[in-house]
């Protein structure tokens, strides 16, 4: 399988924040959801892959090419979908398209016309008068019209109403019927990822906590609920995160089979949501158990 995006031990240091040895990869034809709490390092990671900031160490490859040395060739093949500050507000949709078009060798005017129609975008409206959802769709239409092979989307659904969000997610899924395309999608709306993502990568405090297929994650991990008396240190080592209250405990475990063997039917074992996994992995209280 070809890796379209490959981060190998990438670090970047700011005064009071560091991305530490970030390693993950995305294969051609898949959607990867990139999740983490506010300030986890999602935008910094995206800025690095877009070559907007320089890494301190490690390697970033896109389509197998070093991202710093091949910036222009790579940008031709990438669509960056972002809602703010990307476009000149005073230009109309049509004028903005005419401005962008010469930058791409593979620009496809008939495809652009098709997306404008499909997304219901007003060609004569100024960019600054478009709603957030429209801006996002316009950004997506531009990315698709130059036949981008990799879409990099920074929080594409945040601030969109459920109807527009669904439309955008449907458009993404439709797009991925073309197996040549891949999507890297950062968000904190985990339900969107349950719908469209093939792979999930979780980042917290500048470190990658996990990067796996969504199915693997939702099949292997489980929520365990039981009485407090059942807890001992031997049991606790099987948990990734633990919450206790007066009556009992609730924990996240990374191996459902092991838990069933250990506790039998003295506990309730439930399928976690991505939100459960994210919350347990990134909780800060004293009962947090280190991820393994
Ligand atoms: N240019 C910079 N100089 C110094 N610190 C920075 C700079 N850019 C980002 N940071 C810090 O890096 C940390 C991670 O920020 P980043 O924007 O990558 O997080 P994020 O996961 O995208 O968060 P959010 O979900 O809130 O957008 C933050 O603490 C931020 O203050």
- Which domains occur in the chain, in start order? 3-216 (3.40.50.300), 221-282 (3.30.70)
Instruction: Give the pair of three-digit tokens for residue 136.
Output: 């996002």
What average pLDDT does range 228-257 have in this prediction?
A: 86
DSSP alpha helices (H): ranges in the chain?
42-49, 71-76, 93-100, 109-118, 132-145, 162-175, 190-196, 214-220, 233-236, 256-263, 274-282
Confidence of residue 291 (pLDDT cuts 50, 70, 90): very low
Task: Examine the pLDDT at 286 and tell me if it is beyond 50.
Answer: no
What average pLDDT does range 30-54 have in this prediction?
A: 93
Nearest CA to ligand 1 atom 3: 14
CA of 161 to the centre of ligand 1 (A): 25
Instruction: Sheet containing 78-81: give its strands across.
Output: 78-81, 150-154, 182-187, 31-35, 199-204, 207-213
Nearest CA to ligand 1 atom 17: 43
CA distance 176 to 182: 7
CA distance 126 to 67: 34
Position 289 scores a pLDDT of 52
Reported as a single tens digit per residue, the pLDDT across 149-159 is 999 998 888 77
Nearest CA to ligand 1 atom 2: 14
Ligand 1, pocket residues at CB < 6 Å: 14-15, 17, 36, 38-44, 188
The ligand 1 atom nearest the CA atom of 41: 18
CB atoms within 10 A of CB 172: 23
Nearest CA to ligand 1 atom 18: 41
Task: Examine the pLDDT at 23 and tell me if it is beyond 50.
Answer: yes
Q: Give the percent of the chain with pLDDT over 70.
A: 95
Q: What is the mean pLDDT of the chain?
A: 88
CA distance 35 to 193: 9
Lowest mean pLDDT among 107-111, 168-172, 277-281: 168-172
Position 292 scores a pLDDT of 44
Nearest CA to ligand 1 atom 27: 38
ipTM of this complex prediction, to 2 decimal places: 0.97
Instruction: Sheet containing 65-66: give its strands across.
Output: 18-27, 3-13, 57-62, 65-66
Of 108-112, 166-170, 239-243, 279-283, which one has max mean pLDDT? 108-112
CA of 264 to the centre of ligand 1 (A): 44
Task: Examine the pLDDT at 282 and tell me if it is beyond 90.
Answer: no
CA distance 138 to 86: 11
What is the number of H-type helices and E-type strands within the chain? 11, 14
Task: Examine the pLDDT at 85 and tell me if it is beyond 70.
Answer: no
């Amino acid at each position: 399988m070809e890796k379209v995006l490959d981060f190998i031990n990438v670090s970047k240091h700011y005064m009071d924040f560091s991305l530490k040895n970030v390693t993950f990869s995305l294969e051609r034809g898949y959607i990867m959801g990139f999740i983490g709490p506010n300030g986890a390092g999602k935008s910094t990671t995206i800025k690095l892959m877009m070559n907007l900031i320089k890494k301190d160490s490690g390697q970033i490859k896109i389509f197998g090419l070093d991202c710093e040395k091949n910036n222009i060739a790579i940008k031709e093949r990438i669509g960056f979908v972002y809602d703010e500050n990307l476009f000149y507000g005073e230009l109309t949709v049509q004028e903005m398209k005419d401005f962008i078009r010469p930058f791409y060798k593979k620009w496809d005017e008939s495809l652009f016309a098709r997306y404008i129609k499909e997304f219901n975008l007003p060609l004569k409206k100024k960019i600054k008068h478009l709603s957030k959802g429209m801006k996002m769709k316009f950004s997506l239409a531009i990315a698709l019209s130059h036949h981008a092979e990799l879409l990099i989307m920074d929080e594409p659904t945040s601030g969109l109403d459920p109807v527009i969000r669904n439309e955008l997610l449907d458009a993404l899924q439709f797009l991925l019927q073309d197996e040549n395309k891949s999507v890297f999608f950062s968000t904190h709306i985990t339900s969107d990822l349950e719908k469209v993502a093939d792979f999930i990568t979780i980042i917290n405090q500048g470190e990658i906590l996990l990067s796996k297929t969504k199915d693997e994650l939702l099949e292997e991990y489980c929520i365990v609920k039981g009485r407090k008396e059942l807890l001992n240190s031997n049991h606790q080592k099987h948990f990734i995160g633990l919450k206790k209250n007066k009556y009992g405990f609730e924990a996240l475990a990374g191996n459902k089979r092991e838990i069933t063997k250990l506790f039998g039917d003295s506990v309730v074992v439930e399928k976690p949501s991505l939100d459960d996994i994210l919350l347990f992995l990134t909780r800060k209280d004293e009962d947090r158990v280190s991820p393994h």
